[in-house]
Structure 1
C-alpha cells in the first residue's frame, strides 16, 4: 500500500506541475494583460493612462518579464513559500480573497453533495426494483427533465416564483438585517432558509444523473446468474439485494468523488451570478474577465488539487468496496 501511495504521489506532483503550466498559458492567451484591461477601463471613464504609468504598473505587478519568467516566479512562490501571489483586481493576497469565500463555498458544496446522495440512492434503488411500474416511469421522466433543464433556468424559475409569491428576490446566503450580525440562532435559521435554494438548484442535475446510473447498474446486476442462483436457494429478496447488488450500486457514489468535488467547490458559475452567492465561482469569472492571472490561476489550481486528491480517494474506496478491483490491481 505504501509503495502504491508513493507512486501515486509522484503521479500527482507531475500532473499538478503540468496543469499549472497549461493553466498559466491559457489564462495569458488573450491579448494584453491586466494593465491593458485596466487602461481600457480607465479610457472608458475618461481617465487615460500614459505610457509611463502603464510601464510602472507592469513593473509593480511583475508583468514586465516574459511569460516564462512570470510563470517561474508564480510557481516558485507557491512551492517554496506557499504564497499564491497578489490579486490585481482586489489588491489583496490571493489567499485572503479565496479564504473569504471558502467557508460559504464548502458549506454549499458539502450540503449539496449530501442531499444529492441522500436522494439519488433510494430513488435509484426503488426505480430498479420496481422496474416498469408507475413509480419507475415517473422517476425516469423527472430524471430526464432534470438532466435536460440547465441549472441557471431552475434558478430563474425560483426567482420568478419568489417574486410572484413572496415579493422578494432570493439573493446571497443571508438577509440584509442578518449579514453583519454576530452568529446566533436567528442568523443560523436565516442561513438555513437561504441555503436550501442553491443546494436544490445546483444538485438537481447531479441527482438526476446518479439516479440513472444507479438504476442501470442495479438492473444489470439483478440479471446476473448469481442473483438467479441465490433466489433459487431461497435467499430472501431483501437480504439478497443488500448483500450483493447494492454493493455494486454504491460504486457510482465512490467513483464520482474525483470530479464532483471540484464541480461543487466552484459551484455553477452562472447560478452563483444569478443568486448572488458568495462562492468561488463568481470570483473566478471576474478574475478571468479582468485578466487577474494570479487569482484565476490559483483558483483553478485549488480545483485541480481537489480533483487529483478526490480521484485518489475514489480509487482507494473503490478498492476497499469492490473486491474485483483489488484482484485486478494485484494482477
Structure 2
C-alpha cells in the first residue's frame, strides 16, 4: 500500500507541474493582454489614454518579457511565497480574491457532494434490488429529468417557488441584513437557511448520474455466483448485500470524486450567476473575459489541482475498497 501511495504522489506532482505550464500557455494564447483590452475599451468610449502610463504598467507587471520569464516569476512566487500575483482589474492581490471566494465555494461544493452521495447511494441500491417496483421506475424517471434539464433552469424554478410560496429572499447565500456583517452563529444559521436551494440545484445532475451508475453496477453483481453462494449459505439479505455486491459496486461510485470536485466549482458558473452566488465561477468567467491573466491562471491552476487531488482520493479509496487495485 505504501508503494502504491508513493507512486500516486509522484504522478500527482508531475501532473501538477505539466498543468501549471499548460495553464500559463492557455491564458497567454488570446491576442493582446489586459492592458491592451483596457486601452481598446477606453478608446472606444472616447477616453484618451496616457501611453506612458500604459508602458509603465506593462513594465511593472512584466508583460513585455518573454513567456518563460513571466511563467517562472509566476510559478516561483506561488511555490516559495504563496503569491499568486496581482489582479489587473481589481488592483488587489490574487490570493485575497481567491480566498474570499474559495471559502464559500468549498462549503457549497462539499455540501453538494454530501447531498449527492446521501441521496444517490440508498436510491441506487433500492432501484437495483427492487428494479420492477414503482419506486425504482420513479427513481429512473427523476434521474432522466435531472440529467435532461439544465441546472440554471432548475435554479429559476426554485427561485420562483421559494419566493412565491416560502417568502424567502431570492439569490445569494445570505439575507441582505447579514451579507456584510462579520461571522457569527446568526450568520451561519442564515447561510444554512439559504444553502439548500443551490445544493439541490447543483446536485440534481450529479445525483441522477450516480443513481444510474450505482444501479447498473449493482445489477451486474447481484446474480454472480459468489452472491448466490453466500445467499445459499444462509447469510441475512441485508448483510449479504452490504458486505459483498454493494462494496464491489462502489468502485465506480468512489471514482467519481476526481471529476465531481472541480465540476462543482467550475461547472456551476451559469447557475452561480443566475442564483447570484458569491463563488469562484463568476469571478473566473469575468477574469477570462477581461484577460486578467494572473487571476484566471490561478483559478485554472486551483481547479486543476482539485482534479488531481480528487483523483488521488479516488485512488486511495478504491485501493482500500478493492485490494486487487493496489496489488496490480
SS in structure 2 of the partner of residue 250 of structure 1: helix
Residue 20 of structure 1: how far off its partner (Å): 1.2
Q: TM-score, normalised by structure 1?
A: 0.93
Show CA shifts across 1:272-294 (max 9, x none): 11111111111111110110111
Distance change >3 Å, CA 227–CA 2, structure 1 → 2 = closer
Once the 2 structures are TM-superposed, how far is the Cα of residue 9 of structure 1 from its aligned partner? 2.9
Is 1:51 matched up with 2:51? Answer: yes
Work out the number of aligned pairs and report it. Answer: 328
* 2:139 alignment counterpart: 139
Q: CA deviation at 1:316?
A: 1.4
Map of 1:199 onto structure 2: 199
Match of 1:318, SS state, is helix
Residues in 1 aligned to 2:122 and 2:166: alpha-carbon distance in whole angstroms: 33
Structure 1 residues 184, 13: CA separation in 2 closer, same or farther (over 3 Å shift)? Answer: closer
CA positional deviation for 1:166: 5.6
What is the rounded CA distance, in whole Å, between the counterparts of 1:79 and 1:184 in structure 2? 34
Distance 1:167 1:30 in 2: 45
Alignment map for 1:1-331 (pairs within 5 Å): 1-165=1-165, 170-266=170-266, 268-327=268-327, 329=328
Hey, what's the Cα distance between the residues in 1 that align with 2:91 and 2:182?
27
2-side partners of 1:45 and 1:165: how far apart? 45
Bigger shift: residues 22-31 or 8-17: 8-17
Instruction: Give distance in 1, aligned partners of 2:179 and 2:80.
Output: 37
Structure 2 residues not aligned, in runs of 5+: none
Cα shift at 1:139: 0.6
Give the root-mean-square deviation of aligned CA atoms. 1.8
1:45-64: CA deviations, max 9, x gaps? 33231433322221122211
| Contact 1:115/1:203, CA 8 A, preserved across alignment | yes
Contact 1:86 1:94 in 2 (8 A): yes
Whole-angstrom distance in 1 between the partners of 2:122 and 2:84: 42
